[in-house]
Chains A and B, each alone.
Chain A
């Protein structure tokens, strides 16, 4: 069984075990290691990617369900020259500590800010209920996101 999909804008097909998780395949087959393997239960959000535009924990998605899907990972939402606005805010507010959670945080928050350009801090906290920061750096993460609230430029993505 071959599964065909788009990964960060490139057509791909996968012919390994279709029961394998998307996370395993991203990391082991495509060497996209931005999505982290941490809890493996969908609680921590460190493996957050986007499937057909919506955030999903890659650890819980079997490859066989992805035929025709449009997949985007942290490697596919900005370039070194042009970070996505959430990434840039994370740099500007010195958010990143150990580095385990922030790719997932960026994936969740990029999607969230597109739908909620002027959130309250409470809205941001609700949006982050599936992303755990083991360094407990939440307040700065929220500060960074709030700096984008009502920004003249809506949160969109560079297409590498």
Chain B
């Protein structure tokens, strides 16, 4: 590294960050949020000689705003800050739990919602399935303009994103329904979960399920919705045992991954129990109203 070779930028606007990310430079430039993923690149055997573009000084990425009954969350909001900002609405219970239980206290204070979504290769995020269950959208900004898309679409294209693109905000629709987030750990705490189930359910007055989203994390290489299970449980009353049995019957839908923490078969075996646990949480206060 020479004296004039800048390897760390601290832009104060999104436009300035995009300009640095899109400029030709001797080495690739990457956005830096909380750093808890990027700072471990060497342990993953990745190239570490990249230019860091810290997003910490961009004020608009730190805000949480009410927008038309929903929430717009800046990409730099930490897990802890989001857990504290989410109110007692039952639709936000799953995301709140995900933010308050992920990793450990020091990491939750630094790790960001944007980083959780953008860390391609991190297989056990907590926030991502909770956001999928909520039907969240993300805004991506590039020099050519901005686009907004559902989380599932974002994840599908995540491995091939242009270098000069920033995930700037996450949008939650107005809260409707009741959410739950169930996670299994090998120890009791402080590590990545081996399986996560996040659910948002909306029920009719007769207690049957009018709308349902079920998202998984840590089971396959990337988070996903489990549509077959959603369809099986729709229009039926929320019943933890029935949900468990329906999950067991559809476990072949999934392609669970082997990892150093747990084998694929083990993740699959845990899942029906986690589905049951999540549905038991949903039925504690009766879920009312349907998610959008």
User: A interface vs B, CB < 8 Å?
Assistant: 1, 17-19, 21, 40-43, 45, 48, 54-57, 59-62, 64-65, 67, 108, 125-130, 132
Contacts and interface: CB of A to CB of B under 8 A. Distances in A.
A45 B104 contact: yes
Given A17-B7, A129-B189, A132-B190, A62 B104 contact: no
B283 interface: no
Contacts of A108: 105-106
A60 B105 contact: no
A61 B8 contact: no
B1 A17 contact: yes
Contacts of B36: 42, 60
A64 B110 contact: no
Given A17-B1, A18-B52, A55 B109 contact: yes
Contacts of B189: 125-126, 129
Contacts of B1: 17
A126 B189 CA distance: 8
Contacts of A56: 106, 109-110
Interface of B: 1, 6-8, 10, 32, 35-36, 39-40, 43, 48, 52, 54, 56, 103-107, 109-110, 188-191
Given A60-B110, A127-B105, A19 B190 contact: no
A132 to B, nearest CB: 7
A130 B106 CA distance: 7
Contacts of A55: 105-106, 109
Contacts of A67: 10
A56 B190 CA distance: 14
A40 B188 CA distance: 21
A54 B6 CA distance: 29
B8 A64 contact: yes
Contacts of A43: 104, 190-191
A104 to B, nearest CB: 9
Q: Which 10 A-B pairs have the closest CB atoms?
A: A130-B104, A129-B190, A18-B8, A64-B8, A129-B189, A60-B39, A129-B104, A55-B106, A130-B106, A42-B107
A1 B8 CA distance: 8
A128 B187 CA distance: 13
Residue of A40, A41, A48, A129 contacting most chain B CB atoms (<10 Å): A129
Given A56-B110, A60-B36, A129 B8 contact: no
Contacts of A1: 6, 8
A21 B106 contact: no
A15 B264 CA distance: 47
A62 B43 contact: no
A65 B54 contact: yes
Contacts of A132: 190
Given A19-B7, A65-B56, A108-B106, 19 more contacts: A18-B7, A19-B8, A40-B43, A41-B40, A42-B36, A42-B104, A42-B106, A59-B39, A60-B36, A60-B39, A61-B35, A62-B8, A62-B35, A64-B52, A125-B188, A125-B189, A127-B105, A130-B105, A130-B107
19 contacts: A19-B48, A42-B104, A43-B190, A45-B104, A48-B106, A54-B106, A56-B106, A56-B109, A56-B110, A57-B106, A60-B39, A61-B110, A62-B8, A62-B35, A62-B39, A64-B52, A67-B10, A125-B189, A129-B189
